Amino acid sequence: MPPVITLFGMKIDAVDMKTAVQRVMQWCAEPRDEPCRYVVTPNVDHAVMFQTDDRLRRSYEGAAMVLADGAPVVLASRLLRKSLPERVAGSDLVPALFEAVSSERESASGPLRVFLLGAGPGVAERAAEVIHRRWSSVEVVGTLSPPMGFEHDEDENQRILDAVAACQPDLVLIGLGAPKQELWIGRYADRLEAKAALCIGATIDFLAGEKSRAPRLMQKLGLEWVHRMATEPTRLAKRYARDAWIFPRLVWREWRDGSATSPES
């Protein structure tokens, strides 16, 4: 198994993009006799919420893989001598996975069957069209945009589970926003009839062209949050202000406490 580090109380897999893609592909190639494995991708906001949200902690405990999405999280790991190899963002993981499937998946095994859960009405359908054009070995077998407040309605949650079960996907991409998507999969993974699920935030919107990602240079410099803030100030201003206040204190606490500095086996 790849090494794991503990950072801000979260156990994070110290893997690069290639390894993460290979693990998800392996899960999707296996028989349907295991509970759905799911992936969460912590960023600064997750690290802050993790300190006080017991439900989020339980969701992380059940995850089959935890990947560092936020560039500041990766930078903090290096400052604290617990180096993560690179940022593995959900919005990069999905296209990397689709590219790998298209180049490596044997035709005899058929296409990768994907279900898109989340985004606004009609957005997932547009994302599916883009996926079908770009990656011939990926088949979107179903989409669903749950109504506001669905997470509090057991009938709506059962409707989601039934919709996924009817399609029998290999992979579910969950774009419900954080921490809703992490809490939802943590609660329903054992009832979700899929081989794997990825919590991928706004990736469905990005694929559909509904939202734009930051320029590549800003992504490499760890400044994608600036772009997000500029495009969605009303929704993100309060969150980013809170995180900017709390996250440096988490880094300082981790440094002060001198937690284990070598990856765990």
What single string gives the DSSP state of each residue in 224-238?
HHHHHHHHSHHHHHH
Residue that wins the pLDDT comparison between 160 and 219: 160
Which sequence spans correspond to the domains of the chain? Answer: 4-257
Percent of the chain whose predicted confidence (pLDDT) is above 90: 77
* Most confidently predicted of 10-19, 229-238, 256-265: 10-19
pLDDT 10s digits, 36-82:
999 999 999 999 999 999 999 999 999 999 999 989 999 999 999 99
Q: DSSP letters along 49-114, please?
A: HHTT-HHHHHHHHH-SEE----HHHHHHHHHTT---SS---HHHHHHHHHHHHHHHS-GGG-PEEE
Q: DSSP letters along 154-199, please?
A: HHHHHHHHHHHHHH--SEEEEES-TTHHHHHHHHHGGG--SSEEEE
Average pLDDT estimate for 228-233? 62
Statement: residue 210 has pLDDT above 70: yes
pLDDT at 255: 92
Model confidence at 264, in pLDDT bands (50, 70, 90)?
very low
Statement: residue 127 has pLDDT above 90: yes
Quick one: CA dihedral 245, 250, 253, 254, positive or negative? Answer: negative
Model confidence at 262, in pLDDT bands (50, 70, 90)?
very low
